Structure 1
Amino acid sequence: MAPPRKALIAVSSAHAPLYPEGKETGLFITEALHPFLVFKKAGFDVDLVSETGSSQPDWLSQQEDWLKGEDKKIWEDRSSEFRQKLDNLLKPSDVDPSKYGIFFASAGHASLIDYPDAKGLQSIASKMNTNGGIISAVCHGGAIFPGIIDPSTGKSIIANRRVTGFTTKGEEEEGVLDTIKSWNRPTIEASAASAGATYVSPAGPWDAFTVTDGRVVTGANPASAHVTAEAAVKAFDAL
């Protein structure tokens, strides 16, 4: 029996200075919003959860280059379904993993900080994986994978799988590699390797790119959030 047609989008609850003048990273808005819209259009109920039940938007993700048109309208409308769910985030203790068929880890650099230790979110994803659901992540969301364990192997669910995520080259281009090192966190490429996965790079750091390997679906960067969610729906429909 296929898992329920319901999606759970995980959101980072971390924030930290990353940009000029100490402006902070947090949730990269469209990396949660675009999947939300894709899942809704495909007939899924959608909920949002973070490890602590709180979140803060990433500064860059609110700028005109990254948030415009309909996206900006939905974000600024406090009564929109997306905004309501983001402003009233679930905590892991509120979530029954058996009620969901897709787990989607949205991102922002902040997820490098909290996802590796987010035991609540990891446990939900692990149970959903065991139940036969789709486990998906975009950009820095892959930081959660080393902690999502398959109880039958004792290893990460991405061991021996092909995954993508934000490139180390992209971190260099943004000039944030030293900051990530100061957080004592690995890049997504290093994180994937540590979990026994094969990292697949997009042609360029900012190109829309997604990889599906079995029930694991990953995307490379903010531009990939939409296509990664579509690929997750496709994988779900194939179950």
Structure 2
Amino acid sequence: MPARKALIAVTSASASLFNGKETTGLFITEALHPFKALVAAGFEVDLASETGTYTPDWLSQQPDFLNGADLDMWNDTNSDFRKKLDNMPKASELDGSQYGLFFASAGHAALIDYPKAKALQEIAEQVWANGGVVASVCHGGAIFSDILDRATGEPIVKGKKVTGFTTEAEYTMKIMPELRGWGSEMMDEVATRLGATYERSDGIWDDYHVVDGRLVTGQNPASAASTAKAAIEVFDKL
């Protein structure tokens, strides 16, 4: 049985967005909601990024996305979440064999560093190889670009159903030209390239996730909690 210990991956990248007016980085609730769900389920939870650093995403701090108890936890630098986040190690400093569940949080900035985040990818590979659960939400699927099944040498998502932030939503937010300027693939494009089947809900902001074996993926920020809870359910059946 894999260890009841989880790693939440965090993007270390930051970039200007919305015509240079705002900054993207970690979408806060995409790490906070999984953190809360995993802790409530009795997991020991660590957070890590490729560099050990993070930048909070501007949009994720707006009242529509961050409010109530979540906002209180974010503002309290002594909360368990903030202490873990503000003092997280580099992924390369961790032993991937310790973890039974890997969860890739995101924010648009994940499109920049996740595809080449070798240390985070190595931890996810180890979790998968040990029979654990690998999950992502929103743009977290960018990390699948180079996560392989060590038994087959193929991408762990090959032949599986996945979801992630929709290309429609990128156009709705009017940021597609900027994302293309980064040279980024969209989530449906990543899935197709890796031999996975991309699925989505009808609404771009619906709470929606997909479970395919030990792989669990969520579509958007609204899906972070349900994706984490689904990943926990899969883990508990291992």
Partner of 1:175: 174
Q: Provide the C-alpha distance between the structure 2 equivalents of 1:22 and 1:75, rounded to a whole number of angstroms.
A: 23
**Displacement of 1:95:** 1.1
Superposition CA RMSD, Å = 0.8
Structure 1 residue aligned with 2:65? 66
Whole-angstrom CA distance in 2 between matches of 1:209 and 1:238: 21
Offset at residue 19 of structure 1 (A): 2.4
Amino acid of the structure 2 residue aligned with 1:83: R
Aligned positions of 1:98-137 closer than 5 A: 98-137=97-136
- What amino acid maps onto 2:79 in structure 1? S
Quote the residue 1:79 is aligned against.
78
In 2, Cα distance between equivalents of 1:82 and 1:196: 35
Moved more, 221-230 or 147-156: 147-156
Offset of residue 91 of structure 1: 0.9
TM-score where L is the length of structure 2: 0.98
1:187 aligns with 2:186: yes
Find the aligned partners of 1:21 and 1:229 in 2 and give their Cα distance: 32
Distance 2:25 2:33 in 1: 16
What residue in structure 2 maps to residue 212 of structure 1?
211
Q: Please report how far the alpha carbon of residue 22 of structure 1 lies from its aligned counterpart in structure 2 after TM superposition.
A: 2.4
- Mapped to 2, the partners of 1:67 and 1:137 lie a distance apart of 20
User: Quick one: distance in 1 between partners of 2:138 and 2:224?
Assistant: 8
In 1, Cα distance between equivalents of 2:153 and 2:226? 30
Aligned counterpart, 1:229: 228
Compared with structure 1, are the counterparts of its residues 185 and 21 closer, same or farther at alpha carbon in structure 2 (3 Å cutoff)? closer
The answer as to whether partners of 2:209 and 2:218 remain within 8 angstroms in 1 is yes
Supply the distance in 1 between the matched residues of 2:89 and 2:236 (Cα, whole angstroms).
26
Cα distance in 2 for partners of 1:7, 1:216 equals 14
Equivalent residues of 1:10, 1:48 under 8 A apart: yes
For the 8 Å contact 1:19–1:25, the answer to whether it is kept is no
CA distance in 2, matches of 1:55, 1:165: 21
Give matches, 1:132-171, under 5 Å: 132-171=131-170
Q: Does 1:90 align with 2:117?
A: no
Q: Within 2, Cα distance between the matches of 1:216 and 1:176? A: 29
Query: By how many angstroms is 1:89 displaced?
Result: 1.2
Give the conservation status (yes or no) of the 8 Å contact 2:208–2:223: yes
Counting only pairs closer than 5 Å after superposition, residues 18-37 of structure 1 correspond to structure 2 as 18-37=17-36
Shift of 1:119: 0.5
Provide TM-score, normalisation by structure 1: 0.98
| Alpha-carbon offset, residue 94 of structure 1 | 2.0
Deviations along 1:147-173, whole A, 9 cap, x unmatched?
A: 101122211100000000000001010
Secondary structure in 2 aligned to 1:149? coil
Give the CA deviation at 1:21: 4.9
Q: Which residue identity does 1:221 align to in structure 2?
A: N
Residue 197 of structure 1 is matched in structure 2 by 196
**Could you tell me how far 1:84 is from its partner in structure 2?**
0.3
Partner deviation per Cα, 1:12-43 (whole Å, 9 max, x = no partner): 00000012552110000000000000000000
